[in-house]
Amino acid sequence: MTDPNGSSGRGSVATARPAQSGPRLARVRRAALPAPGSPEGLPARRRWARVAVGAALALLGGWVFASLYVSAGERVEVLAVAQDVDRFQLIERDDLRTVRVAADPGVDTIAASDADELVGRAAATELHQGALLAPSQIVPADARLVEPGESIVGAELAPGDAPPGALAGGIDVLVVLRPSTTTPDAEIVQVFGWLYSFGEPDENTGRRQVAIVVPDDRAADVASAASDERVALVTLEG
């Protein structure tokens, strides 16, 4: 059957389909596809973030390891006190032990390799167990030690009571005890001893503090004279 416009029935059915329906469906399907991802199924942006974090952690771990390695390399073996040692007591090998510590320029220590040189030396101060040894805690090898039967007596000397020359620890001295004002006719007393230590003269008065080693049986006489400022020193050569 032919319509008035001269078209066949089959042709009129074909024109009844919606125009361009195929391309419109294709666009909808493409929009529904997921974004490109990594082989593990994660988006590319998330994958690169995890890579960056991993690299940062690896760098941090390497820095920490390097720091610990360098610190371990700076540790040195030094001497410490194994048991308490009294002042002026001779140091024995059992009094020393070796420890490893980090090198620090601010701490004065004694290398463990010097242990044999300290045996037989005297302690300049009391040494307590566990403390690190310092050179200032050991009496120098050529220093003079207070022997049994000797005492240390302190005194303050006026400028005229001290030798004009330079003083030195360990030198022999003649301790001169002047008579007191209550017994002006008494004889001058002389005591042989040696100079243990001395201070610098006071910038205003010129007086200086000294420590003198004298025999025990004369220590009381020297101390009494020192309290009255009746002590003078004469250095003895040799």
Give 190's strand partners: 176
- What separation in angstroms does the CA of 192 have from each of 18, 120, 133, 183, 217? 135, 27, 35, 23, 12
**pLDDT digits over 196-213, tens only?**
888 888 899 999 999 999
Task: Tell me which of 96-110, 147-161, 174-188 is least confident.
Answer: 96-110
Q: What is the pLDDT of residue 14?
A: 47
**More confident position, 233 or 181:** 233
Burial label, 156 (beta-carbon count in 10 A; 0-12, 13-18, 19+): middle
Residue boundaries of the structural domains of the chain: 75-137, 150-235
pLDDT of residue 26: 45
Topology of the domain covering 75-137: Type Iii Antifreeze Protein Isoform Hplc 12 (3.90.1210)
Q: pLDDT tens-digit profile of 87-103?
A: 878 899 999 999 988 86
Residue 17: its pLDDT value, please? Answer: 52
